[in-house]
Structure 1
Amino acid sequence: MIRVTPRISLEESELQEEFLRASGAGGQNIQKVETAVQLRFDVARSPSLPEPVRERLLILGGRRVTKDGVLVITAQRHRTQDRNREDARERLLALIREAAIPPPPPRRPTRPTLGSKLRRLEGKAKRSGVKAMRGKPASD
């Protein structure tokens, strides 16, 4: 069991890992060793995720989610397979944790109170008076 949040846990069997050669510079190590990890998690069919979390995760996944609802995370930042594996899992867990946070309720617009309107107008009148006193004195 992989603990994501206090209420959400994933089974190891829900994750599929495939190892492949990483791209980029790195010389002989990168050309010969399969250090990159491609982690697949079937969001659409996962029994571990509540429905609202599943919907938010599919949206958060963006281009990383296939048409079948499978989230694909590729990790190739590190030189070793184990580090890339940990990195891919951490990125998956971070995405699920972010999806587990419910969105805030929509803001309901309010109208200013009479008192706040009067205070605003008093402040404007006071400021106007200050600026009016800066002018040249009236000539008689």
Structure 2
Amino acid sequence: MNGKFRSRAERACGGVRSLLGRTSGVSAPIVGAAPAATPGDVPAAAERADLIAALAGRPGVHQLQDVLLDYCIARPGDSATELAALLEPLDRHPELTATLAAFLDCDLDQRRAARALGVHPNTVDNRLARTT
């Protein structure tokens, strides 16, 4: 997908979000948005948008990045490119990957992760902040 198309899609989502924000007193719908590069891609994009909306579960316009983890679980492989792009920056910083793995292995306990890594708990916090 080229940058020009992505820009249009993002502007369209922003416009719909703006319209939804003006509907006071009206129940806002849950909308999934997925781009289609060609007319032939429209059926697959519509299916993807439906799943995005189902996974979002709250009113508004949602794109793949809003529900990426849930989408990856629901459709393994279908979003591999998007997930790889999200995780790619971690490849340059192995300490961040190790910290994230330790944090998950320690049931999201920062102090246990710090002990497992042999670092100060604030170091765990700082590294986790850099992963987002």
TM-score range, shorter chain: under 0.3
Which structure has the larger Rg?
Answer: 1
Larger helix fraction of residues: 2
Q: Which has the higher contact order (CA 8 A, sep 6+)?
A: 1
TM-score, normalised to structure 2's length? 0.25
TM-score, normalised to structure 1's length? 0.24
Larger strand fraction of residues: 1
